[in-house]
């Protein structure tokens, strides 16, 4: 029997709650393979006790695993830039996870924030560059404490980085509606975005059957709200892809339903999968967090590992449970607990 070694990092807040349910569902759904789970307690709590989000050899410890299932990190008392740069971003770069894949769609039994929109209108794939761009450590604070104090924050756009993420978006579009929209801001960012546009145009010539658009990111944000049916695959830089994917998730039912993958397409290192939502410490441990996004992130992980049938079974189970509407968490209008919704999905996936 095939065995996959998967590392879990439940993290903080509801990350712990929803990761438990994702593990339950994946174990129940597994057929023809088994998962060997190893949990790591890296979190803001560890930071407060040790001064580090994870050990200095954290990436070395994780390198031997087939994939990583990450909960959520962030907790009051620990600045967001500390929690993010202490765990998530270093792992993305250590393992070459240059693709951040965020599918956003209107699931059965859920409602969009937009009126009169159906599932056919709301089905997008955000392909976000995940290793460079605006999320750079280059820069610093100068003349601290003086009246002329200032900061510099540099963006990094390499040809390799731009080419590979844009090409990945085109490859994904080939299996969908054959449409790619590039998020740019070349009218305001005089160097980085015109360069991004140039690379996008070059890559587009390799895919003559793919329909292309380039939109300024502010106009594209409006397009997601006003005309989501015109969009299929959206490719953007690290910052633009981050913002647009949260917006798209919000209009397709909420962040509690949106999974994501930090992916190394070449599989030279373990890819990492997580829900889009944060740690929501205000509801942590109350048993009311929606586990669907983390469960679907687990399904994305299995898809990446080649377990297509089981991934599809989990996706179907989620859709069937939501559409039935009998076991929904409060954010979906129900009164079920996190565990009750997770158990319902696990049972449906196991009985396929």
Question: Which of 310, 136, 352 lies closest to 237 in space, CA to CA?
Answer: 136
Name 86's Cβ contacts closer than 8 Å, sequence gap at least 6: 47, 52, 53, 54
Phi/psi at 197 (5° precision): -60, -40
For 99, counting Cβ atoms within 10 Å of its Cβ (0-12 exposed, 13-18 middle, 19+ buried), the class is buried
Residue 347: burial class (beta carbons within 10 Å; 0-12, 13-18, 19+): middle
* Residues annotated as catalytic (active site), given as ranges: 135, 185, 218, 242, 246
Beta strands 99-105 and 259-263: pairing type?
Answer: antiparallel
Strand partners, 151: 141
Provide the token pair at 260: 């994501």
Query: Other C-beta atoms within 10 Å of 196: how many?
Result: 28
Give dist(CA 126, CA 103) in Å, integer.
Answer: 6
């Amino acid at each position: 029997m095939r065995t996959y070694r998967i590392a879990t990092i439940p993290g903080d807040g509801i990350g712990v709650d929803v990761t438990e349910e994702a593990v339950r569902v994946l174990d129940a759904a597994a057929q023809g393979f088994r998962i060997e789970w190893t949990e790591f307690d890296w979190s803001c709590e560890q930071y407060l006790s040790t001064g580090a989000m994870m050990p200095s050899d954290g990436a070395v410890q994780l390198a031997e695993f087939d994939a990583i299932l990450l909960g959520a990190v962030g907790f009051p008392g620990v600045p967001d830039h500390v929690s993010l740069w202490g765990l998530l971003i270093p792992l993305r770069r250590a393992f070459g996870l240059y693709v951040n894949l965020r599918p956003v769609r209107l699931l059965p039994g859920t409602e969009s924030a937009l009126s009169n929109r159906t599932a056919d209108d709301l089905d997008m794939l955000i392909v976000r560059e995940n290793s460079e761009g605006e999320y750079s450590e280059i820069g610093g604070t100068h003349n601290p404490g003086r009246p002329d104090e200032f900061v510099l924050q540099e963006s990094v756009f390499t040809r390799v980085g731009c080419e590979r993420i844009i090409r990945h978006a085109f490859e994904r579009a080939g299996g969908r509606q054959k449409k790619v929209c590039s998020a740019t801001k070349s009218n305001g960012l005089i160097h980085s975005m015109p360069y991004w546009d140039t690379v996008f145009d070059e890559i587009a010539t390799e895919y003559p059957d793919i329909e292309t658009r380039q939109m300024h990111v502010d106009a594209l944000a409006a397009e997601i709200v006003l005309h989501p049916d015109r969009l299929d695959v959206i490719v953007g830089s690290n910052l633009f892809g981050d913002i647009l994917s949260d917006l798209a998730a919000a209009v397709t039912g909420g962040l509690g339903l949106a999974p994501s993958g930090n992916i190394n397409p070449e599989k030279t290192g373990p890819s990492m999968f997580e829900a889009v939502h944060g740690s929501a410490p205000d509801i942590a441990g109350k048993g009311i967090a929606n586990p669907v996004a983390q469960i679907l992130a687990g399904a994305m992980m299995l898809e990446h590992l080649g377990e297509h049938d089981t991934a599809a079974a989990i996706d179907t189970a989620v859709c069937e449970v939501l559409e039935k509407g009998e076991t929904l968490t409060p954010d979906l209008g129900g009164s079920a607990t996190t565990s009750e919704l997770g158990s319902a999905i696990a049972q449906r996936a196991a009985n396929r």
